[in-house]
Copies of this chain bind each other. A is one copy, B any other.
């Protein structure tokens, strides 16, 4: 098995469904579950199978075009991100809206903590959850 490729597994064809999914996720501007996205597409009159939504989201994530997070109850949530590089998020737990946050601070902290305990750092997570100003009104 050779799945070491990170950014080289993107989709290869352009289809109506994939376009719709990417557009919908982009328009969302925040994190969405596959099912939410599927519902939003349906509401817009776009006919896309739930399976296809899952498959494309996965493919896009593998290709590095979208970010994937896990809610506290294990559901996968996806977001189309602007910056290709590594970053973290500030997510509204109410509406899913989010802000990308870059932080040297966190990277340094992760590296330092790992090194200090003799770990070979591989990865780290750091997300902030809260209620955005729109939702708290």
Q: Interface residues, chain A, CB within 8 Å of chain B? A: 70, 72, 74-76, 90, 92-93, 99, 101, 103, 105-106, 109-110, 113-114, 117-133, 136
A91 CB, min distance to chain B CBs, angstroms = 9
- Determine the distance from Cα of A130 to Cα of B94 in the docked complex, in whole angstroms: 32
- 10 residue pairs bridging A and B, Cβ less than 8 Å apart: A70-B72, A99-B117, A103-B109, A106-B126, A114-B128, A121-B130, A122-B129, A122-B131, A123-B128, A125-B125
- Determine the distance from Cα of A130 to Cα of B111 in the docked complex, in whole angstroms: 10
How many identical subunits does the complex contain? Answer: 2
State whether B129 touches A124 (Cβ < 8 A): yes
Contacts of A120 in B (CB 8 A): 130-131, 136
State whether B121 touches A128 (Cβ < 8 A): yes
Contacts of A128 in B (CB 8 A): 110, 113-114, 119, 121, 123-124
Contacts of A92 in B (CB 8 A): 119
Contacts of A99 in B (CB 8 A): 117
Contacts of A90 in B (CB 8 A): 113-114, 117, 119
Contacts of A74 in B (CB 8 A): 70, 74-76
Contacts of A70 in B (CB 8 A): 70, 72, 74
Given contacts A105-B105, A122-B131, 5 further A-B contacts (CB under 8 A): A70-B70, A90-B119, A105-B109, A119-B133, A125-B125
